[in-house]
Homo-oligomer: A and B are copies of this chain.
């Protein structure tokens, strides 16, 4: 066990904290040293995450332990920055932040963050000690657009996406009341979703002149896990050219799967994969992408980033059995 990666988790009682725990307790190259949660300190992890009963007897702690190699920050937006400011973490410890606090180039003294989308920034991530893990919708949308941006072919985008209830977090609220959400569909944050900023930033990294709008309508779906997005873009390239573009772009990226088949959401639920499908009609290409919002959209991608940062095979511990059905 001596040369395993020693990991600490901050904010282990929430959804992304729980998923990170679930991945790391089965990760062959990780020793999960501590899970920090002020409100749950002293309780076994399985009190907050009952499915872990029988899997681990580890308890939450409220004291930071510093003999770790990397810390995952599974905190609410705004809290990660505050945590790092309030709690001096040794410079030798890597940080993977799952909040949105450092996704737009923000930094702290001694801590420059790389935007942790491996399909865009793999080499930078490998060299980085600080990674800002992308947002869930941001991941699904970007992976559907990056190859077009890479070839300077991206124009105005019309995208509709649907997300599971876990995207709304753990807190009880009207829009996650079962009675309301079951069999229901509704729109929210129409054209104003906060992830548009990080999406635009990534697209401009590849196509600096890109200035057209991403018109994005998010919907709330009546399922718990997953994001499905269909994006429409005007282009004169043929479907074959486009498929080649996408296949070339994602060659060697194990979790971005360009399929000739149909994309359905459940193919990726409980996995770290992003499934990408293309259709063309007239001068419009439609790109469908699907991810699990808690895995490729959060904790799975965070572990993928950890693997890259520590020189492991990218897929270690994140080749997961899908729910399929």
Contacts and interface: CB of A to CB of B under 8 A. Distances in A.
A321 B52 CA distance: 9
A176 interface: yes
A190 interface: yes
Contacts of A181: 178
A53 B254 CA distance: 11
A63 interface: no
Contact of A182 (B28, B178, B261, B263): B178
Contacts of A170: 179
Contact of A178 (B162, B165, B191, B217): B165
A39 interface: no
Contact of A173 (B28, B172, B192, B213): B172
A182 B284 contact: no
A320 B158 CA distance: 36
Given A217-B232, A264-B185, A281-B190, A321 B270 contact: yes
Contacts of A230: 160, 187, 190, 217, 219
Interface stretch (A86-94, A220-228, A305-313): A220-228
Interface in A85-134: none
16 contacts: A15-B325, A22-B321, A22-B322, A26-B321, A50-B262, A53-B259, A54-B275, A164-B325, A165-B325, A182-B182, A185-B290, A213-B284, A217-B286, A221-B221, A294-B325, A320-B321
A269 B183 contact: yes
A252 interface: no
A104 B28 CA distance: 39
Nearest to A184: B266
B324 A51 contact: yes
Contacts of A264: 50, 180, 184-186
A54 B260 CA distance: 12
Interface of A: 15, 18-19, 22-23, 26, 28, 46-47, 49-51, 53-55, 158, 160, 162, 164-166, 170, 172-174, 176-187, 190-192, 213, 215, 217, 219, 221-226, 228, 230, 232, 254-255, 257, 259, 261-271, 273, 275, 279, 281-282, 284, 286, 288, 290, 294, 319-325
Copies of this chain in the oligomer: 4
A259 B52 CA distance: 11
A191 B233 CA distance: 12
Contacts of A186: 228, 262-265
A183 B184 contact: no
A59 to B, nearest CB: 16
A269 B22 CA distance: 14
A51 B255 CA distance: 12
Counting chain B CB atoms within 10 Å of each CB, the highest count among A268, A282, A290, A325 belongs to: A325
B185 A267 contact: no
Contact of A162 (B28, B162, B261): B162
A-B CB proximity, top 8 nearest: A54-B257, A160-B160, A191-B281, A158-B158, A186-B264, A172-B172, A183-B223, A185-B228
